[in-house]
Amino acid sequence: MPSAHDPAAQQRHRLVDVPGGRIHLVEQGEGPLVLLVHGFPESWYSWRRQLPALAAAGYRAVALDVRGYGRSCKPAAVDAYRMLALVSDNAAVVRALGAESAVVIGHDWGSPIAANSALLRPDLFSAVGLLSVPYSPRGGPRPTSVFGAVGGEDEFYVSYFQQPGRAEAEIEPDVRGWLAGFYAGLSADTMAPAGEASLFFVPPGRALRDRFDGATLPAWLSEAELDGYAQEFERTGLTGALNRYRNVDRDWEDLAAWDGMAIAQPSLFLGGALDASTGWMAAAIDAHATTLPGLRGSHLLDGCGHWVQQERPDEVNALLIDWLDGLPRG
């Protein structure tokens, strides 16, 4: 049992109704609502170091389990994980919490979920923070065609994740070991040296885990924290999480009306300088002056990998709070 002085003691777990199910969330603090959206393969817990910091700064911080994860609903249909459904979930969470609006912040897959929430529902989302994955408006050819052409003889990981059951068969027999390898492979202190085989490309007839290098955990992740992540996925399986990747073409079709559109609200981008995402998407970061005209800060953290808010929590918290404090309050 945590003591009254433990920040975790002030956290409140809730289930709220959304169209087609319920969303689990954890909230801490009072003040303007800040909605935190995690990525793959994580949960609300990836924001464990942001919740108390944002609460102490005067915000109502809410970290949710995206549908398919943790204690949130897990619809059976693949198309239930399309971007429009996830935006609808975020909107329903804001309303269920009794708020008129919220700032939305996302990491990894949570970043495009946050970006599209701001794009499609500017009436509800007054500002948007993007971590690790920059904003890239809908456009270009069908995504699976693009991903299928990446990597030469090797298979790009997004393509590898497309077939239902395939990645699950790799991951689920040893969830803890797979998560450890995936987290380590994208962390600054445990990732493979530049020039070695990329974690994101699967050789013919092999598995993604064959790219994992050793069993050392990154400094930001304790054995107990890894256990927490693993226990959730051992209970739920990985299908709900992987179904996000299986909707990239459907999203491209659904969002045709927003092709090339900028996000006008105040925005922030934070990424790791050693993260492959910020390297691949450098052009998208450079385009933020046009695609995010309300951008109020863009930061690449030296020596940081993909899991920015967990690898560098103090620095990320300071940047988030400085940005939040500068936003207009309605």
Distance, in Å, from the CA atom of 228 to the CA atom of 98, rounded to the nearest integer, reads: 30
Active-site residue (options: 89, 108, 251, 275): 108
107 contacts 50 by C-beta, under 8 angstroms = no
Q: Residue 22: beta bridge partners?
A: 17
Q: Please confirm, yes or no, whether 302 is among the known catalytic residues.
A: no
Please tell me the distance from the alpha carbon of residue 77 to that of residue 204, in angstroms, as a whole number.
29
Strands 21-28 and 60-64: antiparallel
**Peptide bond preceding 173: is omega within 30 degrees of 0, i.e. cis?**
no
Q: Which of 24, 38, 288, 306 is catalytic?
A: 306
DSSP 7: G
Parallel, antiparallel, or unpaired for β 125-131 and 102-107?
A: parallel
For tokens 């918290």, name the residue: 317
Type of residue numbered 227: D
3-state secondary structure of 280: helix
Six token digits for residue 95: 């309303």
Provide CB contacts within 8 A for 181, sequence distance 6+: 209, 212, 213, 215
DSSP per-residue codes, 99-153? -S-EEEEEETTHHHHHHHHHHH-TTTEEEEEEESS----S-SS-HHHHHHTTTTT
> For this structure, is 13 an active site residue?
no
**Catalytic residue IDs:** 108, 306
